[in-house]
């Protein structure tokens, strides 16, 4: 995908399919301050264990994302 396709989902709960087959669910965050040609995205979800730390997966650019969809109705995706 392209940054233009992904950026409308920033700040929202999403379900993301990556090129390697992994599926992530959580809130999509953007960090484009690195200045090397692509944005970094992070999918952040609630802790797996109560009281634990939030889980974050960093994605380097939009290219590894093959599908993205709104997951606002999925409690597991809402940070």
The burial of 27, by beta-carbon neighbours within 10 Å (0-12 exposed, 13-18 middle, 19 or more buried), is given as buried
Do the Cβ atoms of 66 and 19 come closer than 8 Å? yes
Residue 12 has pLDDT above 70, yes or no: yes
Do the Cβ atoms of 41 and 59 come closer than 8 Å? yes
Please tell me the CATH code under which domain 3-73 is placed: 2.30.30.100
Give me the pLDDT at residue 34, please.
Answer: 61
Share of the chain above pLDDT 70, in %: 94
Give me the pLDDT at residue 77, please.
Answer: 83
Residue 39 has pLDDT above 90, yes or no: no
**What is the overall mean pLDDT for the chain?**
91
Average confidence (pLDDT) over 41-56: 92
Residue 38 has pLDDT above 90, yes or no: no
């Amino acid at each position: 995908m392209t940054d233009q396709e992904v950026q409308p989902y920033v700040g929202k709960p999403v379900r993301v399919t990556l090129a390697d087959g992994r599926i992530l669910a959580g809130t999509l965050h953007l960090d484009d301050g690195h200045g090397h040609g692509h944005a970094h995205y992070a999918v952040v979800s609630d802790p797996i264990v109560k009281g634990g730390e939030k889980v974050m997966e960093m994605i380097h650019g939009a290219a590894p994302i093959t599908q993205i969809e709104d997951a606002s109705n999925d409690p597991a995706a809402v940070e």
